[in-house]
Amino acid sequence: MRWAFLRSIFKRKWAKPSIIFFFLLTPILLSLLLWAVFSPGRKFQPLKMAVINEDQGIASRIVLSFLSSPKAKKWIEITEADREQAFKRLRENKISAIMVFPRNFTENYVQGKTTTIKLIKNPAQRIYPEVAATLMLGFEKILNFLRAYYDEEFSALSRGEVVSGEFLKGTLQKTEELFRSIASFPFKIREEREEKKRLSRAIFFLSGLGYFFMLFFSNASITSMVGTRERQVQKRLFVSGISPFQYSLAYHLSSIAFVFLLELALAAAGWLLFRPQNGNPLTLLVIFLLFSVGSVSFFGVMAGIIGDEKKVNNLSSFFIFLFAILGGSFLPLSALPQTLRKLSFLSLIHPFNQATLRVMMGKEASGFLLHGFILSAALFFLSLYLNERNLRLK
Amino acid sequence: MRGILYHISRELKITLKDKTFYFWALVLPLLFMFVFGSMGGGKEKQPLKINLVAEKENPLVKNFASKLKGEGIEVKISREKKGKNYIYFPQNPERNPIVIHLRGRGPDEAGFFLKAKAIFALMEMWAERRIKPENFVGLKITTYSEKTIPYGFNYYIPAVIVMMLLFNILLFNAASLWRFRQRGLMGRISITPVGKLGLWGTFFLSGIFIGVIDILVLSLASALLFKGTMGERPLASAIFLLLYSSSVSALSVLLGSQVKKREVLIGLSVLGANLLAALGGCWWPLEIVPPALRKVASFLPTTWTMGALEKIIYFHLPLYSALKEMSLLLLLTAFLSFLSVRYFKVEKI
């Protein structure tokens, strides 16, 4: 091996520092953004809803006062509006739904006649209109229960009967009983979060996006070998006594070192920014090294087979995005459609990303490491062989 | 004018001959549409699946499950505690608490939704022990203009088009202008009758044409492959996307004529396009975004475009309903065009 030759190839890889800067900055900024949006610590934004109260009776007012009580304000923001205003706000995407109390709602409710509340969902939103529907279905049940519970009282009220003191006493007793049973509500709910195994969203996304952007570097780094071949650089080098094997090996090693160092830089930035709790640095180094070998060699195999820099670059872009999608770089694997999830093992990113995430969660990752090792080793030798053979043929 | 048209047609021919363009303009967006669209339910809305874990099946569990069920909600009773989020129903729920298990990564909405569903189901069970409620009050749930909410492919197709317009116009048009500068062609052409302003017009219009090709190809391909539509007013959607393309084109001319290094141009385009797409609501619905980020997003052209497309596609409103967004985009285009004309460089790099 000619070290001077290896050094000169390696040095050339750093010739364009600005693209390195941007391609390292992009995954960091995107991870920060994704963390801001999907962080588990993010508070639930209150559901914004407009109410068109065509009733203005006591029943709808009680429901509204309950929905706008200080306790409920944490979850729901109600604004009363006329029809025009409410629909304008919905069209402007400022609210998630509109609730409409029909005319004579209170009268019908008291008389025990069927009456319907309308909920109009915002078609441009996905999550909050469903939350509104769930809440309103709950309220529908509460209103029906109360109407049935106080049936005697409501019936008397609708008949316009003069209520006696005894009747009132009975109603009060019923109410007291209701409050007592609410206080001794037999079911309790406890929320449980998997805190121990929780991994910061930022690290989760940085890992996937980092591998995705590293593939661009791996591709550019090794496929430039085909470009130099087209320019007959090899011929000139062979004259100076460098064998095809040495040339191919030097290109592979310098590309692997280049990608590995960039991964370290990204990991260092991630560590400084997000301060992960777990993660054995030595295991992580092994994963990064294996990924560098695997990714460089994969594009090396492509370059060896195709032999044309532009064609390799075109095809590489397709593989890079495919690997990123199947490897969980853009979204968690659990969110992928079932059929695509089954194909994730085909992604070059998959074993390394999964191994990184498991290590960062303090879990064992030997299965993925072995997968990555076999893949990288096989690709490395194949790439070395193909490129050396091509150089000999030329 | 003939000179400008000649240059535009030449540039477009070069772009269309470039195989990379087909990857970015067709293959990649269709891949995104397929993956994100399938994730969001594909052609129709997928039911929400709630995993109810109970060690032994008993009438209480079945009753609880029936109360949890609803329109678009599927409840599966299982013995094992598996899955991302689940509700654990103990053997004796009146002594032991019902556990809502959430995996730490999930956003808060999922937890809130499960908790609300569970509380209402338990309240119903509790109420039924006292009294059999009758249906005095009904709840009618509809969507604005009584249309179905677009899910899956229909939801992601416009978002992917907005994102890819940004990538393609910035990457191809700005790079093409940069190549002209690098080869010293700008100086030579600027002294012909086409002139400096004509050259600016050539690249500005070329960017818009790239946008037109993108819009046409992606709308047709998504309609054929995923049966996705651009709403009941496809022309209104296309006009708005064209307006958006002109803003992006003006930005690409500004970048292409200011940046000296090709790699900086690519880096800026990739970083800018990713951030604008993510912040503007092309990656996720803006309703779940924290208020501070939503405030930032309100200043971005991607947000205005997505907002206008929402009005046209989901609310079935005419083009003029998006007058505010249209004015903002026109103002931005005018501002970026002014800057790109003012600082348009023809000197060789």
Number of domains forming the structure of chain B = 2
Range of the domain at B96: 48-146
Task: Choose between A62 and A382: higher pLDDT.
Answer: A382
CA-based nearest residue in chain B for residue A117:
B139
Are the beta carbons of B133 and A192 separated by less than 8 Å? no
Are the beta carbons of B270 and A26 separated by less than 8 Å? yes
Q: Look at A250-264, A290-304, B26-40, B100-114 and tell me which has the smallest mean pLDDT.
A: B100-114
pLDDT reported for residue B138 = 81
Domain for residue B29, yes or no? yes
Q: How far is A259 from chain B (nearest CA, A)?
A: 18
Residues B28 and B116 in one domain: no
Residues B139 and B162 in one domain: no
Residues of chain A contacting B126 with CB distance shorter than 8 Å: 181, 185-187
Find which of A66-75, A196-205, A228-237, B130-139 is predicted with most confidence, using mean pLDDT.
Answer: A66-75
Residues of chain B contacting A145 with CB distance shorter than 8 Å: 127, 131, 133
Domain for residue B297, yes or no? yes
pLDDT reported for residue A174 = 81
Of B92, B114, B146, which residue is a domain's last?
Answer: B146
Residues of chain A contacting B124 with CB distance shorter than 8 Å: 141
- pLDDT (tens digit, 9 = 90+) per residue, B210-220? 999 999 999 99
pLDDT surpassing 90 at residue B333: yes
Average predicted confidence (pLDDT) for chain B: 84
Nearest to B287 among A96, A140, A337 (CB): A96
Task: Choose between B201 and B133: higher pLDDT.
Answer: B201
Residues of chain B contacting A134 with CB distance shorter than 8 Å: 70, 113, 116-117, 120
Best probe of the A interface among B86, B141, B283, by most A CBs < 10 A, is B141
The whole-model pTM stands at 0.84
Average predicted confidence (pLDDT) for chain A: 85
Are the beta carbons of A37 and B289 separated by less than 8 Å? yes
Flag whether residue A179 sits within 8 Å of chain B, measured between CB atoms: no
CA-based nearest residue in chain B for residue A321:
B28
Cβ under 8 Å to B: A residues 220-279: none
Q: Candidates 3.30.70.1140, 3.40.1710.10, 3.30.1780.10, 3.40.190.10; correct CATH number of A47-164?
A: 3.40.1710.10
pLDDT surpassing 60 at residue B105: no
Domain for residue B299, yes or no? yes
pLDDT surpassing 70 at residue B109: no
Task: Choose between B112 and A290: higher pLDDT.
Answer: A290
Domain for residue B224, yes or no? yes
Q: How far is A291 from chain B (nearest CA, A)?
A: 23
> The complex's ipTM?
0.81
Are the beta carbons of B149 and A123 separated by less than 8 Å? yes
Residues B141 and B181 in one domain: no
Are the beta carbons of B130 and A193 separated by less than 8 Å? no
Are the beta carbons of A36 and B293 separated by less than 8 Å? yes
Domain for residue B169, yes or no? yes
Nearest to B70 among A16, A30, A137 (CB): A137
Are the beta carbons of A124 and B284 separated by less than 8 Å? no
Nearest to A191 among B100, B103, B314 (CB): B100
Are the beta carbons of A115 and B138 separated by less than 8 Å? yes
A262 band by pLDDT with thresholds 50, 70 and 90: very high
Residues B207 and B192 in one domain: yes
Domain for residue B349, yes or no? no
In DSSP terms, A307 is beta-bridged to none
Residues B296 and B323 in one domain: yes
Kindly report the three-state secondary structure assignment for every residue of chain B: CHHHHHHHHHHHHHHHHCHHHHHHHHHHHHHHHHHHHHHCCCCCCCCEEEEEEECCCCHHHHHHHHHHCECCEEEEEECCCCCCCEEEECCCCCCCCEEEEECCCCCHHHHHHHHHHHHHHHHHHHHHHHCCCCCCEEEEEEEHHHCCCCCHHHHHHHHHHHHHHHHHHHHHHHHHHHHHHHHCHHHHHHCCCCHHHHHHHHHHHHHHHHHHHHHHHHHHHHHHHHCCCCCCCHHHHHHHHHHHHHHHHHHHHHHHHHCCCHHHHHHHHHHHHHHHHHHCCCCCCHHHCCHHHHHHHCCCHHHHHHHHHHHHHHCCCCHHHHHHHHHHHHHHHHHHHHHHHHCCCCCCC
Are the beta carbons of B119 and A318 separated by less than 8 Å? no
Cβ under 8 Å to B: A residues 312-351: 313-314, 317-318, 321-322, 325, 330-332, 334-337, 340
User: Averaged over B17-24, what is the pLDDT?
Assistant: 84
User: Averaged over B258-267, what is the pLDDT?
Assistant: 85
pLDDT reported for residue A172 = 85
Residues B252 and B305 in one domain: yes
Residues B225 and B175 in one domain: yes
Residues B166 and B120 in one domain: no
Are the beta carbons of A181 and B278 separated by less than 8 Å? no
Q: How far is B213 from chain A (nearest CA, A)?
A: 20
Q: Are B336 and B251 in contact (CB under 8 A)?
A: yes
Residues B241 and B302 in one domain: yes
Residues of chain A contacting B24 with CB distance shorter than 8 Å: 317
The domain limits of chain A are 12-39+198-393, 47-164
Domain for residue B118, yes or no? yes
B41 band by pLDDT with thresholds 50, 70 and 90: low
Q: How far is A207 from chain B (nearest CA, A)?
A: 15
Residues B6 and B128 in one domain: no
Domain for residue B348, yes or no? no
- pLDDT (tens digit, 9 = 90+) per residue, A96-154? 999 999 998 888 888 888 889 999 999 888 788 888 888 888 888 888 888 888 888 88
Q: pLDDT over 90 for what percent of chain B? A: 29
Are the beta carbons of A334 and B120 separated by less than 8 Å? no
Residues B153 and B141 in one domain: no
Residues B133 and B12 in one domain: no
B340 band by pLDDT with thresholds 50, 70 and 90: very high
A196 band by pLDDT with thresholds 50, 70 and 90: very low
- pLDDT (tens digit, 9 = 90+) per residue, A13-54? 888 888 888 888 989 998 888 888 877 666 678 889 999 999
User: Averaged over B113-141, what is the pLDDT?
Assistant: 79
